[in-house]
Amino acid sequence: MEISDNLSEGIRVIPTLCGYAIEISSRAGSYGEALNTLREVQKSLKTLGFGFQSQSPTAEEKGKRVTAKVVFILKNPKELNRLVWNLENIKINYPEIDFSLLGERCFISPQGLEKLKQTLREKLLKKAQEMADIFGKKLQMECRLDKLQMEEFKLLLPQRVLEERAKAIWICH
């Protein structure tokens, strides 16, 4: 006898970093040029005494132009006006940059997210194995987990819960 069901598990996500987010982008002929401009802007902001953390840069190519983007998290939101004023002045020397204010944002590190995903996988596997025991007792048969097919992870907002679903198949005889 084959039994199948969908299982799901969720885990609360605790952000590793929260603050006011600003996205800065640079357009250039190559990714290296665009990234170098972003590094120069970052150095200028650090020299001016801004406390922030930056996310890993991303890039997209459109035709012969590359746009590199990075998100900075301002540690002290009270410095936002001063930051915008300084970015406008920096744009005089680097006209290829642009910036957007993204508002309050929270982030989790890639390592932290991977750890949460692994924990969810382990929880789903344990749940599926426990279900095999429950089916075996109810049916008075020996049941074992045959297949556990993991689906995509979903981040549920505003609850900040990472959820994973899986399709489980048990064989009972």
Tens place of pLDDT per residue across the chain (173 aa):
999 999 999 998 888 878 888 999 999 988 889 888 888 888 888 888 888 888 778 888 888 888 889 888 888 888 889 889 999 998 998 899 999 998 888 878 888 888 999 999 999 999 999 999 999 999 999 999 999 999 888 887 777 888 999 999 999 99
pLDDT for the residue numbered 166: 93
Collect all residues with Cβ–Cβ distance below 8 Å to 29 and sequence separation of at least 6. 64, 65, 66
The reply to whether CATH 3.40.50.10260 applies to domain 18-107 is: no
pLDDT for the residue numbered 60: 87
* Domain ranges across the chain: 2-13+110-172, 18-107
Dihedral angle sign, alpha carbons of residues 99, 15, 155, 115? positive
Residue with the two structure tokens 């972003």: 38
CA distances from 143 to 133, 147, 166, 172 (A): 7, 12, 18, 4
What's the first-to-final CA gap in the chain, in angstroms? 6
pLDDT for the residue numbered 122: 94
pLDDT for the residue numbered 154: 84
pLDDT for the residue numbered 72: 87
